[in-house]
Amino acid sequence: MDIDLSAPHSMGTTIIGVTYNGGVVLGADSRTSTGMYVANRASDKITQLTDNVYICRSGSAADSQVISDYVRYFLHQHTIQLGQPATVKVAANLVRLLSYQNKNMLQMGVIVGGWDKYEGGQIYSVPLGGTILKQPFAIGGSGSAYLYGFFDQAWKEGMSKDEAEKLVVKAVSLAIARDGASGGVVRTVTINADGVTKNFYTGDSLPLWHEELEPHNSLLDILLASGSPEPMST
Amino acid sequence: MLVPFNYYTVPPRQRALANPKHRPCSAPLPLERRAIHRANGMEMVAVKDSAISENGTERTLYPYVTGTSVIGMKYKDGVILAADMGGSYGSTLRYKSVERIKHIGKHSLLGASGEISDFQEILRYLDELILYDNMWDDGNSLGPKEVHNYLTRVMYNRRNKFNPLWNSLVLGGVKNGQKYLGMVGMIGTHFEDNHVATGFGNHLARPILRAEWREDLSFEEAVKLLEKCLLVLLYRDRSAINKFQIAKITEEGVTISQPYALKTYWGFSAFQNPSKGVEGSW
């Protein structure tokens, strides 16, 4: 079975955007796959649109990248003309415009999140088809299928920044555990009045879930540690 | 009155059919295809059709985020509409706070089922329509009949270009004491009636309305009747959720209720232990 290296790059993904008391936390995994092959195991799916607005991308890597580029270009001009930072609403609606008008050709679902001085932290979901929905939190990508129940139970209004970030990291890590198309590291971007903070959580700093084992350098370490003379059974 | 409306199921992916005779319309075979491997490594050609045919035209293929039934009826003081707040993504109940009933100008209410992005686009068109109407500043304003006609033209013209707005719309309103309630479908079918419904509502709600609707229902009676229909839809429509909004429009103006949920009844003795005596059956 040959892997198809000419299959389109798709980001089977987990993306999350969460509002908290004072801003937003965006999170994503880092796996980009070409068919069955992992083309990039450390991609950055949280892309900057302006200083205060970022976008989480899922679906076709090419489609979401080019739409982000167009929106960044339009927002840049808009910011110059407006004389002040663009609002999250404008950014999200530009994404919607391009998604809706090209709905037959595009295959991408995104989450736009940011902070502006008028409305504070906001999250907008723009799924396949170009619908736009403002939400207190949003999940997307193939990994999100495993998180609906989790968020129904774990989400609450008015979290602190740390609680929100912990929730996002836990959620992405749970999705990675079960979704073959999600993997790698968990990247987060926190946006609030003070600015933008980017974080990066590797596998060893994430909790272990069901049937996952503590990683080691080698079996030999385990054998040495246990010290028993007949460690392996026949 | 018979309504030629199909309740469709939304397939996550459509298989392209090579034989042009079997394709949904007679457009030529698309040029682009994308192959996606299945998890077990077997190559399955699950394709997404490009909607760009050889002559470069586009068409909407299928809906993604959809709303389910809307029901509406005339009552003593005006018109009343109800819908749940769900936005389904295939079989997933993905969004649970989607407002599917909006007011249009001073005299109309619009409820929509089907693709939410197309409904949002229709709201933009209507926004522009109402704006231009207000700019005349002549004391006149577009009534429900006019808005319904405008929507009919939009839907029918899109259908003729094989690029429909994938919605079923309910338009209700009151102007100069005249109550109006109409429906437009995605292929341009339109009509007026005393009570209407979209989607599953056609099959489940309309029989109830046919039996129990009267000209002189009070607001309370109308709400109770709508809730009876909403409950049946909640029990029997897979894409319904228990979160509703009821909207009314009278000569005085528009009111859209806050979201609320209904109690469901499960206390039938037949539900208690259906397998008793016939283990293994349902």
The predicted-structure confidence for A20-77, as pLDDT tens digits, reads as follows 999 999 999 999 888 778 888 889 999 999 999 999 999 999 999 999 999 999 999 9
Determine contact: A37 vs chain B, CB below 8 A: no
Tell me, rounded to whole angstroms, the distance of Cα B242 from its chain centroid: 16
The predicted-structure confidence for B148-169, as pLDDT tens digits, reads as follows 999 999 999 999 999 999 999 9
Q: Which residues of A touch B33 (CB under 8 A)?
A: none
Please give the average per-residue pLDDT across A115-142, as a whole number: 96
User: pLDDT confidence of B15, banded at 50, 70, 90?
Assistant: very low
Which of B52, B60, B65 is closest, CB to CB, to A127?
B65
Over 50: is that where the pLDDT of B189 sits?
yes
On average, the pLDDT of chain A sits at 90
Q: How far is B47 from chain A (nearest CA, A)?
A: 12
Q: How far is A35 from chain B (nearest CA, A)?
A: 6
Q: State residue A230's pLDDT score.
A: 57
> How many Cβ pairs closer than 8 A exist between chain A and B?
67
Closest CA to B249 of B17, B42, B79: B79
Over 90: is that where the pLDDT of A202 sits?
no
Q: State residue B3's pLDDT score.
A: 45
Q: Out of B60, B189, B250, B255, pick the active-site residue.
A: B60
| B93/B157: higher pLDDT | B157
Residues 6+ apart with CB under 8 A from B61: A104, B14, B49, B51
Q: Is B60 a catalytic residue?
A: yes
3-class DSSP string for chain A: CCCCCCCCEEECCCEEEEEECCEEEEEECCCEEECCEEEECCCCCEEEEECCEEEEEEEEHHHHHHHHHHHHHHHHHHHHHHCCCCCHHHHHHHHHHHHHHCCCCCCEEEEEEEEECCCEEEEEEECCCCCCEEECEEEECHHHHHCHHHHHHHCCCCCCHHHHHHHHHHHHHHHHHHCCCCCCCEEEEEEECCEEEEEEECHHHCCCCCCCCCCCCCHHHHHHHHCCCCCCCC
Q: Which residues of B touch A130 (CB under 8 A)?
A: 117
Q: How far is B140 from chain A (nearest CA, A)?
A: 32
B60/A180 Cβ within 8 A = no
Secondary structure letter of residue B15 according to DSSP: P
Residue numbers of A between 59 and 98 with CB closer than 8 Å to B:
96
Over 80: is that where the pLDDT of A217 sits?
yes
Q: Which residues of B touch A132 (CB under 8 A)?
A: 117, 120
The predicted-structure confidence for B29-72, as pLDDT tens digits, reads as follows 333 333 333 333 333 333 344 444 445 555 667 899 999 999 99
Residue of B nearest to A181 (CA): B39
User: pLDDT confidence of B281, banded at 50, 70, 90?
Assistant: low
Q: Is the ipTM of this complex over 0.85?
A: no
User: pLDDT confidence of A9, banded at 50, 70, 90?
Assistant: low
Q: State residue B270's pLDDT score.
A: 84
On average, the pLDDT of chain B sits at 83
The predicted-structure confidence for A163-175, as pLDDT tens digits, reads as follows 999 999 999 999 9
User: What is the share, in percent, of chain B residues with pLDDT greater than 70?
Assistant: 78
Q: State residue B275's pLDDT score.
A: 77
